[in-house]
Structure 1
Amino acid sequence: MTRLLQATLLSLLLSFTASAQTTVGGVQVESQLDVESHSLQHYGSGIRSKFFFKLYVGSLYAEQAGLNATQLLSGEHNVAVSLDIISNKITSERMRDTIEEGFEKASAGNMAPLRERLDSFVAVFDEKIEIGDQFLMFANDQGQLLAYKNQQLLTTVEGADFAQTLFAIWLGEQPADDKLKSKMLGN
C-alpha cells in the first residue's frame, strides 16, 4: 500500500511539474526563472506578429505576482522580459531599428537623456540573430538593466528610466503590439 501511495504521489508531482510549463509558438516557456539570485514567476507569453509573420515569443516574469503594467514599469520591482526568436525575419539590423523606434515612441520623443545608454544597449543585437536565440532583459529594483543573449550576460545599463522605457515598448500605454501586451500580462 505504501508503494502504491508513493507511486501515485510521484505521478501527481510529475504531472504538476509538466503542467507548470507551457509551449507558445513552439517555444518552451518556463513557469519560473532564476536571474541574479531572484526567483521570477511567469506572468504570460504571446507571439509578436507583423504583416502575418510570427517573429518572436515575448514572455513576462516578475518576482511579485499580481502587478499591473504601471506597477511593473515603476522600477520598484524585479522584472524580466524574454524574447525567443522564432523567425528568420528578425535580423540584427531590424532588431536594432525596432528597439530604436520603440524607444522613440515610449519616450514620447525625449531621447536625449537615454541616447548614450541606448547606443550602448543596442550592441546586444550586433551578432547574427538566429531562430532559437533568446534575449532576456532583467530590470532589478536597484535601477539596473541586465541584458543576456542565450544566457550570457552581454551588458548592464544603469538607470531605472532606461529599463522603464525599454519595457514600455511591450507594456506601456502605446505598446508595439496590444495583443502581445495583453498576453504578456496574462490576460
Structure 2
Amino acid sequence: MKKLLLVAVAFMGIYTADAQIVVEDVTVEKSVTVDGKELMLNGAGLREKLWIDLYVGGLYTTTKSSDGKAIVNADEFMAITLDIVSKLVTQDKMISSVEEGFQASTSKAERKALQPKIDKFIGFFNKPIVSGNEFQLSYVPGKGTMVHKNGALLGTIEGMDFKKALFGIWLGDKPADDDLKDGLLGK
C-alpha cells in the first residue's frame, strides 16, 4: 500500500510540475481557457528595458507556432498575458508604451482607422497599475479582443484589424522587445 501511495504522490508531483513554468518568479500556466476554448502555452518571456524587469508575458494559442506573422494574422482563439513585476510600470507608462507599440505595429493610415479602438483600449488603463497585476488580452473569432485585469473583464474591442495591431506590438516586425518576442514564440 505504501508503494502505491508513493507512486501516486510521485505521479501527482510530475503532473503538477508539468502544469506550469516559472519566469522571474512568475508562474505561467501551461494553458488558459478563453470563452470556453482551452489554449496551450506557446511560449513565455520577460520584458526588460534598460536591464529593468517590467513584466512577464505569455502567449497562448490553439497550436504551437514560431511564426509571429502567422499568429498575428490568424483569425483563431489566442491570448497574451502580461504579469507586471515592477513598480515602475505605472498607469501613465503603460499608456505611453501601448501608444508606442501601436505606432510600431501599424502604418499611419492603419492607426488613423483604428484610433477609436485604440482610444477605447487605452481607456481600460484608467485605474492604477501595480506590481502583481495581470492583464489578459484574449482574441475570440467573431467576438473581438477581450481585455481582463486580474480576472475582471474590462471590455471587448471588435475586429480582426484591432487584434492584428495589438498582437503585432509583441509579435510584429518591430516588437516591443526582441527577446520577449522570441520567448513568446518558443524560441
TM-score for both structures, normalised by structure 1:
0.93
Inter-partner Cα distance in structure 2 for 1:47 and 1:169:
15
Cα RMSD for the two superposed structures:
1.5
Calculate percent identity across the aligned residue pairs.
34
Q: Secondary structure at the match of 1:137?
A: strand
Inter-partner Cα distance in structure 2 for 1:77 and 1:114:
20
Aligned to 2:142: 142
Work out whether 1:92 is the aligned partner of 2:91.
yes
Gaps of 5+ in 1: none
- Give the deviation of 1:48 after TM superposition: 0.5
Inter-partner Cα distance in structure 1 for 2:113 and 2:143:
15
Work out whether 1:21 is the aligned partner of 2:24.
no
Contact 2:65 2:185 in 1 (8 A): no
- Give the deviation of 1:125 after TM superposition: 1.1
- Give the deviation of 1:155 after TM superposition: 0.8
Inter-partner Cα distance in structure 1 for 2:8 and 2:70:
38
Note the alpha carbon deviations across 1:127-167, whole angstroms, 9 max, x for none: 00010000000012225000000000001000111011011
Aligned to 1:170: 170
- Give the deviation of 1:74 after TM superposition: 1.4
Gaps of 5+ in 2: none
Point out 4+ residue stretches in structure 1 off by more than 3 angstroms.
Answer: none
Counterpart amino acid of residue 70 in structure 1:
K
Q: Secondary structure at the match of 2:179?
A: helix
Aligned to 1:160: 160
Contact 1:134 1:149 in 2 (8 A): yes
Aligned to 1:52: 51
Inter-partner Cα distance in structure 2 for 1:9 and 1:166:
44
Inter-partner Cα distance in structure 2 for 1:104 and 1:81:
19
Aligned to 2:104: 105
Q: Select between 101-110 and 4-13 the one with higher mean Cα deviation.
A: 4-13
- Give the deviation of 1:13 after TM superposition: 3.1
Note the alpha carbon deviations across 1:78-121, whole angstroms, 9 max, x for none: 11010000001111111111111111111022311100011011
Counterpart amino acid of residue 146 in structure 1:
M
Inter-partner Cα distance in structure 2 for 1:85 and 1:127:
14
Inter-partner Cα distance in structure 2 for 1:104 and 1:66:
25
Aligned to 1:130: 130
Inter-partner Cα distance in structure 2 for 1:58 and 1:67:
15
Aligned pair in 2 of structure 1 residues 161, 23: CA closer, same or farther (>3 Å)? same
- Give the deviation of 1:10 after TM superposition: 4.0
Aligned to 1:186: 186
Counterpart amino acid of residue 33 in structure 2:
D
- Give the deviation of 1:123 after TM superposition: 1.3
Inter-partner Cα distance in structure 2 for 1:77 and 1:18:
28
- Give the deviation of 1:67 after TM superposition: 5.8
Work out whether 1:70 is the aligned partner of 2:69.
yes
Inter-partner Cα distance in structure 2 for 1:186 and 1:120:
31
Q: How many residues align?
A: 186
